Amino acid sequence: MKRYKTFATTLAILLIAATAFAGSHMAVEQSDIVDTAVAAGSFTTLAAALQAAGLVDALKGDGPFTVFAPTDEAFAKLPAGTVENLLKPENKDQLTAILTYHVIPGNLPSGTVVSTPGATTLQGGSLTFTAADGGVMVNDATVVKADINASNGVIHVIDSVLLPM
């Protein structure tokens, strides 16, 4: 009888441990595009611009969206004073146009981007996709990291800010 109790106790402990282990390894809910970009730490300028343009809530929405996200270094390539000027309240429309030019409605993973010649942005302009030197170009920007999945779409990191024509 004692042996049975020991076995039952051991089995119970193993079941509790297995349940705890399985629960700790369940799929974690993905963050939305904005939270994913902020957590990455290399998009502080983009996050500030989205806030100034009033686009944070839109990009936290259901989507899906494909965002070609310029890094802080990409924004730093712009002429001196450009970012500061765009962040002024009186330039909100221009900033909004630039930011929405980086967003495509729908989910375009890298495999689709490579096989698609281009797409229309939320701003209304067109982006051109080309394969070059083993990588992908979006207009004149290079995709430096692709397929960062978020709950409401996908982010492709680019090395330059896209400017609508």
Question: What pLDDT is stored for residue 8 in this prediction?
Answer: 35
**Tens digits of per-residue pLDDT, 52-95?**
999 999 999 999 999 999 999 999 999 999 999 999 999 999 99
Q: Given pLDDT bands bounded at 50, 70 and 90, which one contains residue 12?
A: very low
Topology (CATH level 3) of domain 30-158: FAS1 domain (2.30.180)
CA distance 70 to 157: 6
- What is the chain's mean pLDDT, rounded? 84
Q: Show me where the domains of the chain are located.
A: 30-158
CA distance 132 to 142: 9
| pLDDT at 41 exceeding the cut of 70 | yes
Phi, psi of 74 (to 5 degrees): -65, -45
Question: What pLDDT is stored for residue 27 in this prediction?
Answer: 46
More confident residue, 26 or 34: 34
